[in-house]
Chains A and B, each alone.
Chain A
């Protein structure tokens, strides 16, 4: 038994290192000078620590402003997304009405439409609504996520229907039942999905670039490309910005870690 555990630990550590290495390297490279990037033997540790690249990343672009923009967009969009998905999943699981399954499958079917194919049509809609250069414009097309609806539906289905009947007998309203019974029981799924949508929104590039024109409305991923250019070999400021950008996602992950791990062990898979 113990021997098996040792193997497990070794394999897990190795896999962990594979995942961690790029993050480690981005962090280390944020201290490199131009010369360090073109060293004949790749460096795994910076020859000297200088915050030069961080200063450049923060001063050569409006990075702090971009981070605020991205945070607002990611935070609120994932919140609304979650709200819509929770209510939709709740009605699909606990209410019986005509066309329930049909409606559910229509929503799920939209997963088959590739986002790239819709991007120009979405741009037209958003621009006609006058939402260019607004947070609402950036968020708008991401407010409904069929994947989340699907995941939540599967999660809610594990809650026995008798709970709802018992609660109803005690005079519990639907909303109260959702808040006091369903959500606490599905905490890990909800948290995992929320984190997933936060990170997805945080990493968006093309859509925010399309619907914004003013520099002060840009998001971080767009901002990062302003720091380098195709011919440049001076990746320092870009890596410094990357190291700064990964912080919020990492922080939220650490805060929600317990819930997420619980979710994973319960068999939740996030698509």
Chain B
């Protein structure tokens, strides 16, 4: 009996501790100033930079206007989306944050929600700010049905990374990265290195398997401007079917890609490609511009890193690359009426100086036009010429080449990868892959549209 009494009392104590902690949490909120709750997914280096910005805001603009921003790390981008989905479905505004950072997949969960407050509406209410202060590509990247719903923040594009030393060794000009997929095939063939017995590949020319991320650019570049789906890649409404089958854009890309594979220099590896590049198992690969600093740090001078424009699908292609990354979304949670305090914080985050700091710390490119005119920025670019390539590529691209907003984003990503691997390794005809992918993705969109009627 004695044990039971002890157990029960321990339980009661733990409950009391639990409740007293809630009480404390609620007490914190009831002060004079407006609290802005901000859910983000920045950890590590990015988390430090984010926390620094929030602290600086609270100590300056926040102090003057009685605003306190509370940054809450909510796990990876996908976790933030899961948590938001739960809050949105509960229909209880009080569980929502004022501001949340989401990636392209998360956009699908919030863009039609009545709780979401369009950022363009907030901009319209403030005469001191206008959409024209933002990079046009980033504005379009977050535009849904003609309205910019989220504030572009951690924006990036895809970039080609290559090993200049390996280029020299293969007799290639280290300052001339491949321009098209045809170039990529011939470069890869020259760069591939075999072991002494000729059985094992010691260094591939290029490594990686295309996903929806690469396809947006490689399909978008064709016929002046193409989209993967109707409704301009889902930016004008919920997409209903893919266009890449009837327009022949996917088949054109797949044939070019097959030629790269047939050169013998392509590895279909999907994991740790960045590491493979750093340890010189591949001479080229592509990833986000935001990886540049980390890659330079990790290579640590063991070889000379070069970056180039992401290769074009063919010599007729125009338009360049799309803008990916994430954006900040505002929610109506019965806190901060009119979202005035939240808007102050947003305006601070996209101010030219803050964008410069964010760019230097993380590698995401500045979304504010005026950042590019800052003297400090010019100096920074001169000191880091590789960053200049990334930014030139962005400015040479057509802002209308846009990311795709479709349902089951993660699933589609892997479906594309797996189909391409299968096509190359089992030598399947291109048409079969096009049919399979169109049917699969059309089915996903169909199911989504039926469920969300």
Contacts and interface: CB of A to CB of B under 8 A. Distances in A.
Contacts of A230: 76
B45 A124 contact: no
A200 interface: no
Given A134-B21, A136-B18, A76 B86 contact: no
A40 B299 CA distance: 11
A215 interface: yes
Interface stretch (A4-12, A31-39, A46-54): A31-39
A127 B94 CA distance: 10
B262 interface: no
B206 to A, nearest CB: 19
A259 interface: no
Interface string A50-62: 0000000000100
A83 B7 contact: yes
Given A231-B290, A232-B294, A233-B294, A40 B279 contact: yes
Contacts of B76: 225, 230
Interface stretch (A20-28, A149-157, A206-214, A248-256): A206-214
A231 B43 CA distance: 10
A38 B279 contact: yes
B26 to A, nearest CB: 9
A215 B19 contact: no
Contacts of A217: 21
Interface string B253-292: 0000000000000000000001100111000000010110
Contacts of B291: 231
A234 B291 CA distance: 13
A133 B45 contact: no
Nearest to B17: A135
Contact of B82 (A133, A135, A206, A226): A206
B435 interface: no
A135 to B, nearest CB: 4
A227 B48 CA distance: 10
B86 A124 contact: yes
A104 interface: no
Contacts, number: 116
B61 interface: no
B95 interface: yes
Interface string B68-107: 0000111110010011011001101001000000000000
A137 interface: yes
Contacts of A79: 7, 10-11
Given A40-B279, A215-B73, A135 B18 contact: yes
Band of interface residues on B: 35 or more
A134 B21 CA distance: 7
Nearest to B4: A175
A226 B43 contact: yes
B10 A134 contact: no
A210 B37 CA distance: 15
Band of interface residues on A: 35 or more
Contacts of B75: 205, 209, 222, 225
A204 B280 CA distance: 37
A96 B17 CA distance: 39
Contact of A227 (B44, B89, B92, B279): B44
Interface in A61-83: 72, 76, 79-80, 83
Contacts of A38: 275, 278-279, 298-300
Nearest to B19: A134
B147 to A, nearest CB: 28
A39 B21 CA distance: 46
B43 A135 contact: no
Given A134-B21, A175-B1, A210 B288 contact: no
Given A38-B279, A38-B298, A229 B47 contact: yes
B294 A76 contact: no
Given A83-B7, A225-B76, A120 B86 contact: yes
A80 B11 contact: yes
Contacts of A210: 82-83, 86
Interface string B9-45: 0110011011101100100000000000100001111
Interface string B363-394: 10000000000000000000000000000000
Contacts of B297: 34
A124 B95 CA distance: 10
B3 A179 contact: yes
Contacts of A201: none
B131 interface: no
A115 interface: no
A209 B42 contact: no
A132 interface: yes
A76 B11 contact: yes
Contacts of A228: 43-44
A119 B85 CA distance: 11
A230 B278 CA distance: 16
A234 B297 CA distance: 10
A136 B76 CA distance: 25
Contacts of A214: 25, 72
B14 A227 contact: no
A123 interface: yes
Interface of A: 34-35, 37-40, 60, 72, 76, 79-80, 83, 119-120, 123-124, 127-128, 130-137, 175, 179, 205-206, 209-210, 213-215, 217, 222, 225-234
10 contacts: A35-B300, A38-B279, A72-B14, A120-B90, A127-B95, A134-B19, A134-B21, A136-B15, A217-B21, A231-B288
Q: Which 4 A-B pairs have the closest CB atoms?
A: A229-B44, A136-B18, A134-B18, A135-B18
Given A119-B86, A127-B90, A205-B75, 19 more contacts: A34-B300, A38-B278, A60-B48, A76-B11, A79-B7, A120-B85, A120-B89, A124-B89, A135-B18, A206-B79, A209-B79, A213-B72, A228-B43, A229-B42, A229-B47, A231-B288, A231-B294, A231-B363, A233-B294
